[in-house]
Structure 1
Amino acid sequence: MPVSSIITAVGLGIGLSACCGFRVFIPLLVAALGAYFHWIPVNAGMDWLGTLTAITCFGTAAVLEIAAYYIAFIDNLLDTIAAPLAIIAGTVIAASVLPVGELDPMLKWGLGILAGGATAGTIQVGSGLLRLLSTKATAGAGNSVIATGENLAAVIGAAGSLILPVFVALVLLTLCIYLGFRLLMKTGKGKI
């Protein structure tokens, strides 16, 4: 496999995984559509991602998830559920598209956790803290603005990952590094 294809696949995996931190099911839906229409390659054993059943399930879940984030205080509850789900979804997407071929499954899933799960988890924690601050400052009235921004970030980021995977991955990784640095600095000062 050429190096450019490997870099593109890694960018795709990281980009889609990072978008799981904004919304869990939108990137899964985009990945399912990409696999169904053969826009993206998926690893052996992950062919289920490109089925009509997967598209239907992820589409339904995405619509419900988007709607639920517009209900004040329910959105904060969803963040507690979405954090582990984002890590799992990010890991699955990354493991589906990372070019590991016939390598050891431990390596495939390890790379999926490192590249996908960690990125999705970092963004989810950052957006969850932002929503928590918004709830505290505006009694939940400002959360719909944050939800709209997250929805747009998930849709644009996931779709952009199919078109410009390396660019989107770099932008989202920069965001993850920034959020991680900010969390470490605040934790070190005892502000969280």
Structure 2
Amino acid sequence: MDTLLSIGIGIALSAACGFRVFVPPLVMSIAALYGHLQLAPEFEWIGTYPALFAFAVATCIEIAAYYIPWVDHALDIVSTPTAIAIGTFITKALVHGTTDPLLEWTVAVIAGGGAAGIFQTLTGMLRVSSTALTGGIGNPVVSTIEAASSFILSVLAIFVPILAVGLVVTGVTFLIQKVLQKRANIGES
């Protein structure tokens, strides 16, 4: 697998961790089992049936928990460092074959962990806004959109990685523009 393509797939899957932590590992496990994804030798366990079962159970529990009022906010607090860690490991599992493990881990931490952290922060802010605007009534809708986004982005990352990376870049660009607009508006006030 081409190194740049592997990095792109890793970044897109890591960004999907920002929506739901366990969905990307589940999709990776399925893809690895069916031969659509080549993992680093030390991460081949992801493509086993016990790992698939564990990821499926964790995904179901995580998705269900986001529909419980106030538990969703508690999960956002725990999910941020977890998403960054899993995003890092996902990228490292895909970026291999270079002669420098330090380079592989550096790319995994910065690109994978960074993408997961950015999107997890975005979803946390969205949930707080939803709670403030709807008193929490809109949170199940937000949870459904986040879960669907995680599944869609994960599948796109495996089968159409260029599109998935494009969506991630577009999302990050949109977020940066919104932050800069807010700062400009605050500066004008």
- Normalising to structure 1: TM-score of the pair? 0.90
1:108 aligns with 2:76: no
Q: Distance in 2 between matches of 1:54 and 1:127?
A: 26
Q: Output the amino acid matched with 2:142.
A: I
1:139–1:167 Cα change, 3 Å: same
Partner of 2:24: 27
Partner of 2:79: 82
Q: Distance in 2 between matches of 1:25 and 1:37?
A: 19
* More deviation, 31-40/118-127: 31-40
Equivalent residues in 2 for 1:7-46, closer than 5 Å: 7-46=4-43
Q: Distance in 2 between matches of 1:184 and 1:74?
A: 31
1:91 aligns with 2:110: no
Q: CA RMSD in A?
A: 1.7
1:13–1:94 contact (8 Å) kept in structure 2: yes
TM-fit CA distance, 1:30: 0.5
Deviations along 1:64-123, one digit per CA (max 9) or x if unpaired, are 00001111211011100011111111111111112x314222211110011111011101
TM-fit CA distance, 1:8: 2.4
- Normalising to structure 2: TM-score of the pair? 0.91
Partner of 2:125: 129
Q: Distance in 1 between matches of 2:41 and 2:100?
A: 13
Partner of 1:170: 166
Classify the secondary structure of the residue corresponding to 2:42. Answer: coil
List runs of 5+ in structure 2 lacking aligned partners: none
The number of residues matched between the two structures is 186
- Name the % identity: 37
Deviations along 1:163-182, one digit per CA (max 9) or x if unpaired, are 10111111112202322443
2:98–2:104 contact (8 Å) kept in structure 1: no
Q: Output the amino acid matched with 1:95.
A: K
1:186–1:103 Cα change, 3 Å: farther
Deviations along 1:127-156, one digit per CA (max 9) or x if unpaired, are 100100111111110001100100110011
Q: Output the amino acid matched with 2:38.
A: P
Q: Distance in 2 between matches of 1:77 and 1:150?
A: 16
Q: Output the amino acid matched with 1:49.
A: I
1:91–1:117 contact (8 Å) kept in structure 2: yes
TM-fit CA distance, 1:187: 6.1
1:122–1:180 contact (8 Å) kept in structure 2: no
